[in-house]
Amino acid sequence: MKPFYILAFLICSYILSAQVAKDYAVLLRADVQSAPKSIKISWNSYPSATSYQVFRKRKDVTGWTPIATLSGTATSYTDTAMSTLSNWEYKVS
């Protein structure tokens, strides 16, 4: 696996008495494996997170597709359903 880093947005929403959501930018790490093909996205945990949603899109497309909903304790997601012939972007919120 060859690691590389991508900067993406991790949007952590939590409820305060005024119900205000906060956005945070964090560094995501992506480990790419060619056989079997997979991309493992990982991030540092956020104590107030109740869940995370992972999105993916091809670089030449504008809309994001949700691909997973994870628990608030999750710190990674492995994507095995993407095509290796495309450039992908990921977002975790």
pLDDT for 11 beyond 70: no
Q: What is the pLDDT of residue 9?
A: 42
CA-based R_g, the chain, Å:
14
Mean pLDDT throughout 65-75?
A: 92
Per-residue pLDDT at 33 exceeds 70:
yes
Q: Where are the domains of the chain?
A: 2-92
Q: Is the CB of residue 24 less than 8 Å from the CB of residue 46?
A: yes
* Top-confidence residue, 10 or 86: 86
Q: What is the pLDDT of residue 64?
A: 93
Q: Which of 3-7, 26-30, 31-35, 87-91 has the lowest mean pLDDT?
A: 3-7
- 2-92 architecture in CATH? Sandwich (2.60)
| Strand-by-strand arrangement of the 2-10 sheet | 65-71, 51-58, 88-92, 2-10, 24-34, 37-42, 76-79
